[in-house]
Structure 1
Amino acid sequence: MEQQKLPNSTLILIFGILSIITCCCYGIVGLALGIVAIVLATKATQLYITNPEAYTGYSNVKTGKVLAIIGIILSVLYLLFVIWILLVFGWDTMQDQELMQERMREFMGQ
């Protein structure tokens, strides 16, 4: 029997990489890509476990899953940071650069 590539193994790897790269897009894009990569990796892993001799590309799945987990962690941390900034300074302050600089000086105690 000829081995075939695991479905979505390259896509899982790409989504894992992109979840790390896009974690600074307010955390939302990286979080979404990471979750999709983990769901696809779980399905591919289940398929591989049922018949490991029939498939290749499992290393891409494992690497993509690890990268997706890292991307999710970074995205969640960045999202929490953005929420904290909005809670501390407010939306209006974020829109006005001079007001933001003034609030930052106050926050730093200067």
Structure 2
Amino acid sequence: MEKPTLPNSTLILVFGILSILTCCCYGVLGLIFGIVALVLAKRAREVYAADPDIYKGYDNVKTGRILAIIGIVLSSLYLIATIVSIAIYGWDGLQEMTRDMEYNF
């Protein structure tokens, strides 16, 4: 008989990857995906700890959790940098800097 996979193990991995990929969207999307992945990973770890012999897919949970932590850190740094830039230059100054960067390429 084949072991069932741990609930949401693939989803945790996908959200962990998405938290890293979307960290440059002003940091907000990366934080959302990372936090959701951590919450789901916590529940999956509790289920696995209750009876580790009947489930497979715990490696996806561990990997997704690590990726979610990395994504949260990167997203937090990007969000802080964005907030500081807005505080220093203002929203109009930030848009002007972005516009100038586009013309230089």
TM-score w.r.t. the length of structure 2 is 0.89
Aligned residue pair count? 100
In the alignment, which residue of structure 1 is the partner of 2:89? 89
Distance 1:95 1:82 in 2: 12
In the alignment, which residue of structure 2 is the partner of 1:56? 56
In the alignment, which residue of structure 2 is the partner of 1:31? 31
Q: Tell me which amino acid in the other structure corresponds to 1:77.
A: L
Structure 1, unmatched stretches of 5+, are 102-110
| RMSD, aligned α-carbons | 1.7
Task: Quickly say closer, same or farther: Cα 1:84–1:97, change in 2 above 3 A.
Answer: closer
Aligned-pair identity in percent equals: 58
Q: Is this contact kept in 2: 1:23–1:75, CA < 8 A?
A: yes
How big is each residue's C-alpha offset from its partner over 1:49-96, in whole Å with a ceiling of 9 and x where there is no partner? 000011000000000000000000000000000001000100122233
In the alignment, which residue of structure 1 is the partner of 2:70? 70
TM-score w.r.t. the length of structure 1 is 0.85
How far 1:37 sits from its partner (Å)? 0.1
Distance 1:73 1:80 in 2: 11
Distance 1:35 1:85 in 2: 24
Q: Is this contact kept in 2: 1:2–1:54, CA < 8 A?
A: no
3-state SS of the aligned residue for 2:22? Answer: helix
Q: Is this contact kept in 2: 1:27–1:75, CA < 8 A?
A: yes
Q: Tell me which amino acid in the other structure corresponds to 1:59.
A: D
Structure 2, unmatched stretches of 5+, are 101-105
Distance 1:97 1:6 in 2: 47
Q: Tell me which amino acid in the other structure corresponds to 2:87.
A: L
